[in-house]
Amino acid sequence: MSHSPKAIIIGAGIAGLASAIRLAVQGFAVDVFEKNTYPGGKLSDFELNGYRFDAGPSLFTQPQNIEELFTLAGEPIEDYFAYSKMPISCNYFYEDGTMVHAYADNNLFAKELVNKMGETEQSLLSYLKRSERMYKDIGSVFLNHSLHKKNTLLKAYVLKAVKATRLPYLLSTMHRMNAAHFKNPKTVQLFNRYATYNGSNPYKAPGMLSLIPHLEHNEGSFYPKGGMISITNALYQLAIKKGVSFHFNTPVERIILQEKKATGVVVNHENIFADIIVSNMDVYFTYQHLLGDPHRSKKLLKQERSSSALIFYWGIKKEFPALGLHNIFFAKDYRAEFDHLFRLKKMYEDPTVYINITAKCEPGLQAPDGKENWFVMVNAPANVGQDWDSYRAKYRAAIIAKLNRLLQTDIEPLIEEEQVLDPVLIESKTASFMGSLYGTSSNSKMAAFLRHPNFSKTIKGLYFVGGSVHPGGGIPLCLKSAKIMSEIVAGDRKKH
């Protein structure tokens, strides 16, 4: 009887967990090495005196990416994971007092935009139709396949996608496309915001990114029971069920190369060999530290990094009926905010504020009775050595001033617990270079093609997954990166 092929995965982030499950199902004996003491990477959680917080991503779309893993593994998902669809995807607050509910039901959302923004119902419905078409014709090809394999590029669906890619999608910016479609600048701002889903600038990023609203408005946004951490827990349990071995608190020192082939890793000064190596670490650090290839990591730096974030986790000793699970308080001048984030790399004095409150879905469980757990996030520039101590204080003051104005409540005395996460901490905790949440930004026309592939073109047996490689950052794309990688691995194994 032949022995199982061995796979080593570096990093137990969400893409690492999904990769472990997929490779185990393919018949690999899988070992995962993680420098932290817990799985999930950015998708982790913590508690502060009865307030529970998801530390990282807070939006859940495309549950089918997770369902697929359970189907593949032959395990009933309901034993591990449950979620429900949200009736409102987000509440939007503007400085002039306008407040918009983005209902999950597109007809209700259209009526809301007619009443609050003076748009026509048709303008929203046709916009979301186009978003869906772009996603299905173009996006799904980009997101579900490697753009770096000749055989993918020759397949019929790619030719169809290329045909469907109208020039404005690439040549026009997301902002210009939105401004041509809606008449109220506040509606344009609402849809410009989707560029931030991969850390990009709507005034620079291609119009193609307007396929992102399709996920939230046509497919829906969801709440995982128990908070976002339950995604990590479900995948971790499933991986264990499939026989995957996890080694926490065990950083990989380097990848072993022999004649242009990755043959193992060094852990605790010990060589551990395997047939394939999968890195779920930021691709920049993979080249810099694990492969000792500063030249290659420098080349990656030519691409602009995505934005980062500053997050305040606040235990609030009051309930706010006007708020829901997802809430956005917009900056007055959006263009100036993005100019600060990307060009000046400085703090902007009137940032857009996002607040996520899971206690809205599970009161009493996520926060003590009558209280709320606020995950308060502003977009921040990637870390280039700014004075984060002074930025933290300034951002905090700006956020509180904005919320006081728009909620007409004095927020400061209601904060009874607080923790802060800034780009420097993001970098040290999750090994995301410069604290960039999504690796590189999508601020150029060719960004989708410039992302690092899910395999190495020069080193056999080395593969890449996670937010810093194709197809991009965010939970759905990290899960897709694992799928693309596992299909490439299956193809490579057939050849031998």
What is the SS3 assignment for 434? Answer: helix
Asked if 472 and 439 touch (Cβ cutoff 8 Å), the reply is yes
- Judge whether residue 304 has pLDDT over 80: no
For residue 490, tell me if it sits in a domain.
Answer: yes
The rounded distance, in Å, linking the Cα atoms of 205 and 211 is: 12
Asked if 253 and 269 touch (Cβ cutoff 8 Å), the reply is yes
Lookup: tokens for 331: 């900056």
What's the mean pLDDT in 163-177? 75
In this structure, of 218-227, 281-290, 365-374, the range with the lowest mean pLDDT score is: 281-290
In this structure, of 189-198, 331-340, 443-452, the range with the lowest mean pLDDT score is: 443-452
The rounded distance, in Å, linking the Cα atoms of 151 and 109 is: 42
Residue 161 binned pLDDT confidence (cut-offs 50, 70, 90): low
pLDDT, one tens digit per residue, over 118-157 is: 999 999 999 999 999 888 887 777 777 777 776 665 565 5
For residue 90, tell me if it sits in a domain.
Answer: no
CATH number of the domain to which 235 belongs: 3.50.50.60
Q: Are strands 415-421 and 6-10 parallel, antiparallel or unpaired?
A: unpaired
For residue 452, tell me if it sits in a domain.
Answer: yes
Alpha helices by DSSP H, listed for 74-203, are: 106-117, 121-134, 140-144, 150-154, 156-164, 167-171, 174-181, 185-192
Cα 244–chain centre separation: 25
* DSSP class of 58: -
Range of the structural domain that residue 16 is part of: 6-44+226-304+442-495
For residue 467, tell me if it sits in a domain.
Answer: yes
For residue 446, tell me if it sits in a domain.
Answer: yes
| pLDDT score at 378 | 96
What's the mean pLDDT in 190-216? 91
| pLDDT score at 404 | 98
The rounded distance, in Å, linking the Cα atoms of 404 and 412 is: 9
| pLDDT score at 153 | 57
Q: Are strands 261-267 and 99-103 parallel, antiparallel or unpaired?
A: unpaired
- Judge whether residue 85 has pLDDT over 50: yes
Q: Which residues contact 289 (CB under 8 A, 6 or more apart)?
A: 254
Ramachandran angles phi, psi of 202, nearest 5°: -60, -20
| pLDDT score at 1 | 46
For residue 244, tell me if it sits in a domain.
Answer: yes
Write the single-letter amino acid at 147. L
Lookup: tokens for 206: 């291609």
Number of domains within the chain? 1
The rounded distance, in Å, linking the Cα atoms of 89 and 102 is: 6
| pLDDT score at 144 | 77
- Across 294-366, where does the E strand assignment appear? 308-316, 326-329, 353-356
For residue 382, tell me if it sits in a domain.
Answer: no
For residue 178, tell me if it sits in a domain.
Answer: no
